């Protein structure tokens, strides 16, 4: 199960990926200092996972070009309101 999609455009910049890891690790350290080791372990685990996904194994793929939309002339005729069709008769 993949929790972080490394190909998402948000993670393209290095500073974003480093900031996510730093916030998770910092929050884990804060929880340990505050005396709540359970939440500290969870935050550090999130930091370790984000480090693994966003820095250690990060291999961005170039964005795929979307195929241009082709408008079919037949579809335009079908979308006319009924009032215009009656006027044509």
For 30-48, write each residue's pLDDT tens digit: 999 999 999 999 999 999 9
Q: Measure Cα distances from 27 to 15, 19, 22, 54 in Å.
A: 18, 12, 8, 18
Q: Is the dihedral of CA 14, 18, 21, 24 positive or negative?
A: negative
Q: Residue 4's pLDDT is what?
A: 82
Give me the pLDDT at residue 32, please. 95
Q: Which pTM does this prediction carry?
A: 0.64
**Between residues 3 and 38, the one the model is more confident about:** 38
Contact call for residues 47 and 24 (beta carbons, < 8 A): yes
- CA count, 13 A, side-chain hemisphere, 13: 5
């Amino acid at each position: 199960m993949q929790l972080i999609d490394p190909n998402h455009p948000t993670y393209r910049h290095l500073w974003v990926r480093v900031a996510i890891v730093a916030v998770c690790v910092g929050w884990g350290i804060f929880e340990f200092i505050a005396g709540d080791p359970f939440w500290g372990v969870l935050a550090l685990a999130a930091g370790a996972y984000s480090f693994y996904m966003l820095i250690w194994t990060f291999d961005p793929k170039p964005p795929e070009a979307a195929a241009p939309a082709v408008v079919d002339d037949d579809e335009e005729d079908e979308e006319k309101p009924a009032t215009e069709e009656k006027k044509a008769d």
